[in-house]
Amino acid sequence: MEFNIALLRGDGIGPEIVDSAVEILKKTADKFGHKFNFTPYLIGGAAIDATGKPLPEETVKGCLASDSVLLGAVGGPKWDNLPGDQRPEKALLGIRAALELFTNLRPAKLYKALKDECPLRPDIVANGFDLMMVRELTGGIYFGERGRREGKYGEEAYDTECYSKMEIERIAKVAFETARKRNKNVISIDKANVLESSRLWRATVHEIAKDYPDVTCTDMLVDNAAMQLVKNPAQFDVVVTSNMFGDILSDESSQITGSIGMLPSASLGSTKRGMYEPIHGSAPDIAGQNKANPIATILSASMMLRYSFDLDKEADAIDAAVDRFLEEGYRTADLVGNTGVKPLSTTEVTEKILEFI
Ligand code: IPM
Ligand code: MG
């Protein structure tokens, strides 16, 4: 099969990790007899430097014309002082909205080989954990009304959390469908003891739950969820939550796997086109040093094959190569911990994983 993939390398370590994942995709295509065509487009700080805008029109058009999008990361200190709507991060929100990617899947599992890197007590993770965070991605406070105004105490700023029933219904359906393919358990996270938007969220999730009697559905308040994730992560199968709660909790769930450098994500809408990216950022402190862990981006590429192209065997081959890399004791700088193992560079990791495909 032939697919067109838009590449948004972005900033910081973005270019290095995307290039690594492209190598892996090319090898996978060769091995299984497919053809992937790659077209790069500018995004984030790199786009600001070249065009003055974080998300050029051409990038949006290119992504809309592609079968799928692979993104590295955006942002860095160079652009930190720009006004909110001109920052590199604005491009990320813009492309998610332009492609109508309302679902963000963020799997977090403990690799057996990395159990010593897990910061939780061994008895807590004795049986491992494997959860799928389903984060709403194009609504809530990220996209609500915001501004500055004069208030009771002088200048003030506000952002608004707003969810329509429709937005909650469609993300809840994704969560239940996802759970059906896993352990049939959904935990919906909200702050319904305080927020009106959460009360609508909770009621709507329960309405949708009626169509999935085979799936267990429970609610959890977000503060409790933050605690439960480190207390007993194995209780979670599918987690469904709002844009901001999902942003925060997915970083937490990544850290308990050992390193945020391992976690991929898939952003999906109602078509097959998705955008795939590591959940970590642009790590400007190590950019250009050939040190970054490309595994989260490689696993994102695997998710692209699985979710956008229905190439399950091919995705399995990439996942198995990553497993073998870890099982054989190879480590990246973020994963060495106290092991005393010499970390591999980005290009060395890529070569090893290529060898295992
Ligand atoms: C993420 C990031 C982004 C988000 C930022 C960079 C806008 O933290 O993908 O989790 O908050 O969604
Ligand atoms: Mg985040």
pLDDT in tens, 178-231: 999 999 999 999 999 999 999 999 999 999 999 999 999 999 999 999 999 999
Amino acid of residue 314 = E
The pLDDT of residue 282: 97
Mean pLDDT, residues 322-326 taken together: 96
Q: Do 27 and 139 share a domain, yes or no?
A: no
Q: Please, which pLDDT band fits residue 337 given cuts at 50, 70 and 90?
A: confident
Q: Is the CB of 47 under 6 A from ligand 1?
A: no
Per-residue buried b or exposed e for 108-120, using 16+ beta carbons within 10 Å of the residue's own CB: bbbbebbeebbeb
The pLDDT of residue 116: 87
Q: Is the CB of 161 under 6 A from ligand 1?
A: no
Domain that holds residue 340: 1-104+265-357
Q: Do 310 and 337 share a domain, yes or no?
A: yes
The pLDDT of residue 176: 98
The pLDDT of residue 339: 78
Last residue of a domain, one of 199, 226, 256: 256
Q: Do 252 and 130 share a domain, yes or no?
A: yes
d(CA 55, CA 75): 12
Reading the block at residue 177, the tokens are 């469908």
Q: Do 315 and 236 share a domain, yes or no?
A: no
Mean pLDDT, residues 65-92 taken together: 95
For residue 270, how far is its CA from the centre of ligand 2 (angstroms)? 23
Q: Is the CB of 71 under 6 A from ligand 1?
A: no
The pLDDT of residue 318: 98
Task: Establish if 5 belongs to a structural domain.
Answer: yes
Q: Please, which pLDDT band fits residue 352 given cuts at 50, 70 and 90?
A: very high
Residues 6+ apart with CB under 8 A from 309: 1, 3, 67, 68, 272
Q: Do 219 and 294 share a domain, yes or no?
A: no
For 51-57, which contacts have Cβ atoms below 8 Å and span 24 or more sequence positions? 53/86, 54/86, 54/87, 54/88, 54/89, 54/90, 54/91, 54/94, 55/90, 55/91, 55/94, 55/95, 55/98
Are the C-beta atoms of 280 and 73 separated by less than 8 Å? yes
Are the C-beta atoms of 273 and 99 separated by less than 8 Å? yes
d(CA 333, CA 343): 5
Task: Establish if 111 belongs to a structural domain.
Answer: no
Q: Do 218 and 288 share a domain, yes or no?
A: no
Last residue of a domain, one of 222, 256, 290: 256
Helix crossing, 88-98 with 57-65: angle to 10°?
A: 40
Mean pLDDT, residues 287-298 taken together: 97
Lowest mean pLDDT among 65-74, 166-175, 325-334: 325-334
Q: Is the pLDDT of residue 340 over 90?
A: no
Q: What is the mean pLDDT of the chain?
A: 96
Q: Which residues pair with 219 in a beta bridge?
A: 188
Report which ligand 1 atom has the smallest distance to the Cα of 73.
Answer: 6
The pLDDT of residue 244: 98
Give me the percent of the chain exceeding a pLDDT of 70. Answer: 100
Mean pLDDT, residues 41-58 taken together: 97
Residues acting as catalytic residues: 142, 191, 223, 247, 251
The pLDDT of residue 117: 87
Does the pTM surpass 0.85? The reply is yes
